[in-house]
Amino acid sequence: MKQLILGMALSLFGMTAYAVPISFEFSGGSIETTGCLCLGNYSDNAGSAWLDDGESADFTFGTASVLGIGSGILEATVDFLSPISNGESVDGQFSVISIGLLSGGKWTGGSVDFDYNTGLYAGTARLIFDAVDTGLQLGPHFKLTGSIVNLGSVAVSVPEPTPLALLGLGLLGLAYRQRCRQ
């Protein structure tokens, strides 16, 4: 009986799922604004990081160059390549004054949670854009910084035939051995 319990405990230990780092990769992005009398250009960046559960990585997602004045809604999008293959967006209130060499701007930033599934692991991540408050500065450039956080993942349950077959054969062998003893 002790051998049966030990064998079952070892087989369950072998089937335990462990978290692994997930690849987060983005190829760029875009920004859109409403309510601004501005001319602008956005230079997006690419980046990647392997993140385990609870880990985060900081990025400069892009730089906006603006000439004009206004306030409204700014929507920033990051185009992911992995573990999802679509864009995730964050929007918030912004205001900007950029005339000549002097400029100033504010943006509330924000965050969005999104689900991913790599085929082997599924989980949730968070895209965070930091708030921007430049005060009065020289030059019309505003960096959009933030981070990506892997909130957690679990192994996708896929029954594997070989371990299950070995477990079944082991149990049959133990039952046969027990029967022979009697």
Is the sign of the CA dihedral 28, 114, 111, 83 positive or negative? Answer: negative
Whether residue 175 is contained in a domain is answered as no
Whether residue 7 is contained in a domain is answered as no
Give the global pTM: 0.75
Q: What is the mean pLDDT of residues 19-33?
A: 90
Whether residue 29 is contained in a domain is answered as yes
Whether residue 1 is contained in a domain is answered as no
Query: Is pLDDT larger for residue 169 or for residue 74?
Result: 74
Is the sign of the CA dihedral 52, 54, 55, 57 positive or negative? Answer: positive
> CA nearest 143: which of 130, 154, 153?
130
Contacts of 179 (CB under 8 A, 6+ apart): none
pLDDT band at 10 (very low <50, low <70, confident <90, very high): very low
Whether residue 140 is contained in a domain is answered as yes
Q: State the total domains in the chain.
A: 1
CA 6 to chain centre: 40
Place of tokens 């997602």: 61
Whether residue 171 is contained in a domain is answered as no
Q: What does the pLDDT look like over 105-153, one tens digit per residue?
A: 999 999 999 999 998 899 999 999 999 999 888 888 899 999 999 999 9
Residue 45 structural domain: 21-158
Whether residue 73 is contained in a domain is answered as yes
